[in-house]
Structure 1
Amino acid sequence: MPSPVRLHRPFFILALLAVCTACGGGGGGGSGAAAPATSTPQPAVPATPNADITVLMMGNSHTTVQGLNMQLEQLLRNGSGGKTVALTVASGFMYLDERLADAGSMALLRSRSWSVVVLQAQKYSTSGQFFYSTAEAEELVRIARTAGSLPVMFPEWPREGVDETARIYDLHVSIAQKQPACVAPIGQAWELSLQRHPELRLHSEDGNHSAPAGAFLAAVMLYATISGTQPAQLLALPDLANGVDAASQAKLRQVAADTALAYPPRRYCPA
């Protein structure tokens, strides 16, 4: 039987980073004194660039497939009015409950006051018959907000041919209602695009991950959520849109703009 958790790339398990805990043994003195206490070494935090706007993305393969993260970084740079932008993706493909338990991920989250923290990969039941805890996602939101970051929830788009947009979105809204966070209406943008522009394929062949146009639409919707501005007038991305031409990008930007009017992405943001 299929797992009730949404499936991701086949190599998901192989791609997870193993978290190793190093133990140091203390040597006793000649007098028989107790060995001094040792502390668990903290994981090394990768160097992250300084910029006016710093973004951390934590999630699984949906965060980076088709260069979604790079497109979001370029969109933010284009719309920043000359400010510098640096986007960092946390290592590994993990669900949010796994992120909270991963020492490396938490060290990275706490390593600086990020401008924005984007959280993707909340577990949910594909059948709607199971419940998965949201407490871990709520804690990640709380930690980000306490550090002065803007937390942004990244609800996944629906699987191809599956009516699950509202259920996924509502699950993320329930997190934001407990711990204030912005909620990007990505699934709603996909549905609107499929209605208006069926010629633009959003799903990859597996019916789960995004095709190039889908990744671009998700990136634009995240841009609108982070910036609080309408994306319709953004510049095209000739180098990062993976074959999505300027005309298609314009259609998708308008879809994102109209979706933001119907589902304000900053409705649940912290005050």
Structure 2
Amino acid sequence: MNCNHRKRICQLFLLAILLLPTSLFGQQDTLRVLFVGNSYTYFWNLPQLVTAMAESQGIPIITRQSTVGGSTLEEHWKEEKETKTRALLESGDWDYVVMNNHSLSTINTPADFDKYGKLFAELIKSKGAKPVFYMTWARKGDPSMQPTITKGYNALGKSTQSNVVPVGEIWKKSIGLKPEVDLYFPDGSHPSPEGTYLNALAFYKFLTGNATADIPHRLTRIDKDGETMYLAILMEDVADYFQDLVDSFEIKNLPYDR
């Protein structure tokens, strides 16, 4: 093979690469997501479950959390209750920072809900990440809470140009359609394992833009010793129902400027 022929082959090879669909590039880029909040986030390992769902589809997502039971975003901002959120924001190269405030904050302390949500959204953007608000749900004994919660999170998302994952509205629809599928822990506030699986589906769809139909109803991860951990074990029909439900929602990942 002469030199000119080899050169021509190389040129054609490079051209073929350039003509490949751009969607093929960056598919394996690892997303880094920090979850900030309280027990509504750490019950049944929500961040790890999102990672496991993504892994099951060959998508790399690293999740970390800064969570303290019963904490508010005000306490995270002021570094109270031994929270480490501000330090994690300084030290981490995050793509998204997902935040949930206390479950009663939109009702009992709406001014602080807005104030510290806005402060965190500004700080997160200044670090090159995208703020995301995790809309919580009504207590089991008082479904009338949901309109106030929904209004508060949507208004905060709009005022800060941040995305909102409408978990509370998904819960509302699920309970209306199939109340026998219990999303609540026995305390009537925190999520059951089924509730957390549903939440994780919503975040998987938000972060990847993909439908959830292929997510397994059993999800595992390997621990540091090489042992299998079971993060979720659902009845297959319940998982299928949740996937259909989440995929019926338009969960947008809006291209807000950072």
Query: How high is the TM-score relative to the length of structure 1?
Result: 0.71
The aligned residue for residue 230 of structure 1 is 211
Structure 2 residue 238 is the aligned partner of structure 1 residue 248: yes
The aligned residue for residue 164 of structure 2 is 183
Structure 2 residue 256 is the aligned partner of structure 1 residue 270: yes
Aligned residues: 214
Q: Percent identity?
A: 21
Greater helix fraction, Structure 1 or Structure 2 = 2
CA contact (8 A) 1:238 1:246 kept: no
The aligned residue for residue 84 of structure 1 is 60
The amino acid that maps onto 2:196 is A
Do the aligned partners of residues 130 and 83 (structure 1) sit closer, same or farther apart at CA in structure 2, a change above 3 Å counting?
Answer: closer
CA contact (8 A) 2:132 2:163 kept: yes
CA contact (8 A) 1:96 1:123 kept: no
The answer to which of 171-180 and 86-95 deviates more is 86-95
Rounded Cα–Cα distance in structure 2 between residues aligned with 1:183 and 1:91: 19
Deviation at 1:91, TM superposition (A): 4.6
Rounded Cα–Cα distance in structure 1 between residues aligned with 2:208 and 2:60: 14
The answer to which of 86-95 and 185-194 deviates more is 86-95
CA contact (8 A) 2:217 2:236 kept: yes
The aligned residue for residue 74 of structure 1 is 52
The aligned residue for residue 203 of structure 1 is 184
Rounded Cα–Cα distance in structure 2 between residues aligned with 1:129 and 1:135: 14
Rounded Cα–Cα distance in structure 1 between residues aligned with 2:95 and 2:105: 31
Greater strand fraction, Structure 1 or Structure 2 = 2
The amino acid that maps onto 1:151 is P
Q: Where in structure 1 are there 5+ consecutive unaligned residues?
A: 1-50
Corresponding residue SS for 2:238: helix
Rounded Cα–Cα distance in structure 1 between residues aligned with 2:116 and 2:135: 15
Q: Where in structure 2 are there 5+ consecutive unaligned residues?
A: 1-28, 221-229
Can you list the C-alpha shifts for 1:62-109, whole angstroms capped at 9, x where unaligned? 101122222112123334xx3432211115332111111117320111
- For 1:110-149, what aligned pairs fall within 5 Å after superposition? 110-122=90-102, 124=104, 128=107, 131-133=110-112, 134-149=114-129
Do the aligned partners of residues 224 and 166 (structure 1) sit closer, same or farther apart at CA in structure 2, a change above 3 Å counting?
Answer: farther
Can you list the C-alpha shifts for 1:105-164, whole angstroms capped at 9, x where unaligned? 2011121220111101256457x4753321111111121122221221011111103222
Can you list the C-alpha shifts for 1:31-88, whole angstroms capped at 9, x where unaligned? xxxxxxxxxxxxxxxxxxxx82111111001101122222112123334xx3432211
CA contact (8 A) 1:157 1:187 kept: yes
CA contact (8 A) 1:123 1:132 kept: no
Structure 2 residue 130 is the aligned partner of structure 1 residue 150: yes
The aligned residue for residue 55 of structure 1 is 33
Deviation at 1:245, TM superposition (A): 2.0
Corresponding residue SS for 2:43: helix
CA contact (8 A) 1:116 1:151 kept: yes
Can you list the C-alpha shifts for 1:204-238, whole angstroms capped at 9, x where unaligned? 11110011111111111122222233323333334
Structure 1 segments (4+ residues) deviating >6 Å: none
Rounded Cα–Cα distance in structure 2 between residues aligned with 1:183 and 1:52: 22
Corresponding residue SS for 1:266: coil
Do the aligned partners of residues 195 and 104 (structure 1) sit closer, same or farther apart at CA in structure 2, a change above 3 Å counting?
Answer: closer
Query: How high is the TM-score relative to the length of structure 2?
Result: 0.74
The aligned residue for residue 164 of structure 1 is 145
Do the aligned partners of residues 175 and 111 (structure 1) sit closer, same or farther apart at CA in structure 2, a change above 3 Å counting?
Answer: same
The answer to which of 128-137 and 60-69 deviates more is 128-137
Do the aligned partners of residues 270 and 113 (structure 1) sit closer, same or farther apart at CA in structure 2, a change above 3 Å counting?
Answer: same
Q: CA RMSD in A?
A: 2.3
